[in-house]
Amino acid sequence: MIDSEGFDVGCIWFTDEAHLHLNGIVNKQNWRFWRSENPYWCEAKPLYSPKVTVWAAVCSRGIIGPFFIRETVTSERYVAILEQFVATQQVLEDRPRTEWFMQDGARPHRTEQVFRFLDEYFGNRVIALEYPKFTGAGMDWTPYSPDLTPCDYFLWAH
């Protein structure tokens, strides 16, 4: 697509969410450490640490968010965040909509309610697991691919 259609990677809204524990522990599910031998290292964590979920969208044009959720993320709560995202994006919009929307394959992100919302606003400019099966458009998130977005490498560390 980049070569044939002039696709601009800078126009993708990469989205992600992270759990920030209120006791200072950082959820490092995407951090990998490779060594030639086992370091026999263990990190003790409390089982039920109080936390807040944070969602944000990152694009070459900026960051929208963060949006905070204290409860478990459900499709209804996720759609409410998407509505806030779209409202913010429309306020900041200074050119016709050419952006793509990318989300990971978390279960609350793959419901009919979420896909209907994304289809209404972004149409075929969505990169998401199972989205093409539902709408017949967009780009499928590769199953079993890691959840690696600029949020993981840039935003959550701050």
CATH, residue 132: 3.30.420.10
Residue matched to tokens 């691919």: 145
Note down the domain range covering 92.
11-21+52-155
113 in any annotated domain: yes
Alpha helices in the chain (DSSP H): 2-5, 75-92, 112-122, 131-135, 150
Structure confidence at residue 87 (pLDDT): 82
Mean pLDDT by 10 residues, the chain (158 residues): 62 82 67 70 72 85 84 87 84 66 83 88 82 77 66 70
Structure confidence at residue 148 (pLDDT): 65
Structure confidence at residue 15 (pLDDT): 86
100 in any annotated domain: yes
Q: Which pair of structure tokens corresponds to residue 27?
A: 């959820």
Total domains, the chain: 1
Distance of alpha carbon 29 from alpha carbon 14, whole angstroms:
18
Distance of alpha carbon 17 from alpha carbon 19, whole angstroms:
7
- What is the three-class DSSP state of 69? strand
6 in any annotated domain: no
The answer to whether the CB of 69 falls within 8 A of the CB of 77 is yes
